[in-house]
Amino acid sequence: MHIHFIIHESYEGPAAFSQWVTDNGFKQTSTHLYLGESLPAVIDFDLLVILGGPQSPLTRRDECAYFDVEQEISLINRCIAKGKALVGVCLGAQLIGEALGAKFEHSPQREIGYFPITMTDAALASPLFEYFQLTEVVGHWHNDMPGLLPTSKVLAYSQACPRQIVEYGDLIYGFQCHLEFTQTSISALIASAFEQGAMFGEQWVQHPADMAATDTRAMNRLLFQFLDKLVLKYKAH
C-alpha cells in the first residue's frame, strides 16, 4: 500500500497516521503545501489522506498563497474517478464534501480539545467501525463541518457538532474530528493557536494544559483499526 498525505501546515501533520503506515510497512509520501510543494500530477498511491488546517474551502489565494482549493478538489475528483481510497480530516473532510458537491457549513459550536462523539446506527452496523463503542472520546479542533449529500451517511456526532464522521462512499470518509492527534502533535497545534490569538475558555474549548496531558493511545488505536478495515475493503475492490 502507498499512502499519500496532503499537509497544509507544519503544525498539523499526519501524527498517528504515520505510526500506522510505519507499523504496517507501507510506503508514505507527502505534499507539504506550506513549503510550496505541488500537488501530485500522477496518482500512483492507493490512499489519499487530506489533513486539516486553518483554511476553509472559501479561503482565497490572496489570503493563503499556498492553498488552492480548486486544485485540491481536482485532485480529489481524480482520485475518486480512479477508485482510490480517501480519508479527509477536518479541512480535508470539508474538501472531500466540496469535491462531491456538498457545501461545507459552519459548525454550531467551535470545538477544541478532547470530547465525546456518539456513533450512529449506521456506524454501529459498519464493519469499519466495529471496534468503536457507542461513545468515544476523540480530538477536536474546528469551527466548520463537512457538507452532506442525500447519499451521505453521518456515522458520528457530538453535542457541539452534528457531523463528526461522514461516509461519502465505499472508500471515501470524512472525519471532522481528529483521531490522529498525539501528545506530541497537539503541542504544536496549541502553540500555533496561541500565536494566532485563538481564545480558550468557551464551553467546548478545553484548557491547553488538559489537552497536553491527554493520553491519546486508545483513540489512535481506533483510527488504526478503521484504517486496517479500509485497506481490506480497498484491496477487495
Tell how strand 2-7 and strand 27-32 pair up: parallel
Give the span between the Cα atoms of 57 and 69, in whole angstroms.
Answer: 6
Identify residue 151 by its one-letter amino acid code. Answer: T
* pTM recorded for the entire structure: 0.96
SS3 state of residue 47: strand
Compute φ and ψ for 129, nearest 5 degrees. Answer: -120, 25
Q: What angle do CA 164, 165, 167 make, to 5 degrees?
A: 150
In tens digits, what is the pLDDT along the chain, a chain of 237 residues? 999 999 999 999 999 999 999 999 999 999 999 999 999 999 999 999 999 999 999 999 999 999 999 999 999 999 999 999 999 999 999 999 999 999 999 999 999 999 999 999 999 999 999 999 999 999 999 999 999 999 999 999 999 999 999 999 999 999 999 999 999 999 989 888 766 656 666 789 998 889 999 999 999 999 999 999 999 999 999
